[in-house]
A = this chain, B = another copy of it.
């Protein structure tokens, strides 16, 4: 591992500049010289020391991706897409987990660890609008998610309100009138839960249906167990409903399980719609109708936007980029 430019230069009887030229495809090199150098590189098995190159160039060729937890399917699938896009652009990805903890998220933004990368794609879950100023950092940053809006950084996100409204309207179109919700967050005004609930209410209102608190299930987290617990509580309350809107797929899958355990048939007695377009939602029993909020586009756009900033688009003001959504219709809530 100790083969350097000098070693190659010595073996090829040229200067290190010439070797460097060969490596960096500098055009004006005499073919004979090039061959001599390439032979020496091959013989010694030389590979450039990226750390040294980075120190010179000020770039690392790596970006950081910070998200709550890879154990959550939504973020695992998002990370898979981001890494894939980054690789296509010749960049590696350093993954940080924040555990959805506000303090850890704020710490991360100040961490010297980020110095190992050229920029950050950041999906916070603990921070809120009051922390927007913390996003005013000195390195390229792309924000994901819906915890903070109109911050000082580029923001790639989904049309939560419209997509949730479309999901609700999908249920209304089948004649469902009592649509329960699983996964609402008490008192929240921003964030995925609040925005999706807002879309749900807008759809009800447009259809002339009143909002009924008794069929809204609250949870703190969005694991499958929370969806199951929330549904148990809704059933215990005794409120009637003929459909369920899970504010994400994981919740919807947990809720659907409890519905079936209770003897209700899905979709005959109760139709279920989720949100996220997870792969696994296609394989539940029944398969889950859901909204794809445009994850693939979000990953692709987050990477390309970050790389543009890194390449020097500093003067451009921060933008908000919104993905298009689509309904993935499956068995848990079929049309008609």
Residues of A that sit less than 8 Å from B by CB: 1, 47-52, 54-55, 60-62, 69-71, 73, 76-77, 79-80, 83-84, 87, 92-97, 112-113, 115-116, 138-139, 224-225, 228, 253-254, 257, 260-261, 279-280, 282-285
B76 touches A116 (CB 8 A): no
Contact B115 A49 (CB under 8 A): yes
What is the CB-to-nearest-CB distance from A49 to chain B, in angstroms, rounded to a whole number? Answer: 6
- The contact sample of 13 A-B pairs, CB cut-off 8 A, is A1-B138, A70-B83, A71-B279, A73-B76, A83-B97, A84-B97, A87-B96, A93-B95, A94-B95, A95-B95, A225-B283, A257-B285, A280-B280
Q: Which residues of B contact A280 (CB under 8 A)?
A: 73, 224, 280
Q: Report if A92-B97 is in contact (Cβ < 8 Å); known contacts: A50-B112, A80-B71.
A: no
Is the Cβ of B70 less than 8 Å from the Cβ of A80?
yes
Q: Secondary structure of the A side of the interface?
A: helix
**How near does chain B come to A335, taking the closest CB pair, in angstroms?**
21
Query: Are A79 and B50 also in contact (CB < 8 A) when A71-B279, A283-B253 are?
Result: no
Given that A73-B73, A92-B94 are contacting pairs, would A228 and B83 also be in contact in the complex, using a CB cutoff of 8 Å? no
A77 to B62 alpha-carbon distance, docked (Å): 23
Determine the chain B residues whose CB is within 8 A of the CB of A69 once the complex forms: 80
Tell me which residues across on chain B come within 8 A of A224, comparing CB atoms. 280, 282-283
Chain B, residue nearest A285 (CB): B257
Whether the pair B96, A92 counts as a contact (CB closer than 8 A) is yes
Besides A70-B76, A79-B95, A92-B116, 6 other A-B contacts (C-beta < 8 A): A50-B112, A51-B54, A60-B116, A61-B116, A76-B79, A261-B285
Q: Are B228 and A254 in contact (CB under 8 A)?
A: no
- Report the minimal beta-carbon distance from A61 to chain B, rounded to whole angstroms: 7
Interface centre among A49, A112, A253, A283 (most CB of B within 10 A): A283
| CB of A68, distance to nearest CB on chain B (Å) | 10
Q: Do A116 and B73 have beta carbons less than 8 Å apart? A: no
CB within 8 Å for A50 and B283 given contacts A76-B76, A97-B80: no
> Within 8 Å CB of A93, what residues of B?
94-95
Q: Are A51 and B48 in contact (CB under 8 A)?
A: no
Given contact pairs A115-B47, A116-B50, A224-B280, A70 touches B79 in the complex (Cβ within 8 A):
yes
Name the residue among A1, A69, A83, A116 with the largest chain B CB count within 10 angstroms.
Answer: A116
Whole-angstrom distance from the CB of A85 to the nearest CB of chain B?
A: 11
Set of chain B residues within 8 Å of A96, measured between Cβ atoms: 83, 87, 92
A95 to B228, CA, bound (A): 33
Q: A107 → chain B, closest Cβ, in Å?
A: 12
Instruction: Let me know if A51 and B61 touch, CB within 8 A.
Output: no
Contact A55 B51 (CB under 8 A): yes
Closest Cβ–Cβ distance, residue A54 to chain B (whole Å): 5
- Given A70-B70, A115-B49: A257 and B283 within 8 A (CB)? yes
Q: Which residue of B lies closest to A254 (CB)?
A: B283
CA distance A300 to B77 in the complex (A): 23
Q: Give complex CA distance A80, B139 in Å.
A: 26
- Given the known interface contacts A50-B116, A257-B283, the answer about A94 and B62 at a Cβ–Cβ threshold of 8 Å is yes
* Complex contacts, A79 vs chain B, CB 8 Å: 70, 76, 95
What are the nearest 6 A-B pairs in CB distance?
A: A76-B76, A70-B80, A224-B283, A50-B115, A71-B80, A47-B112
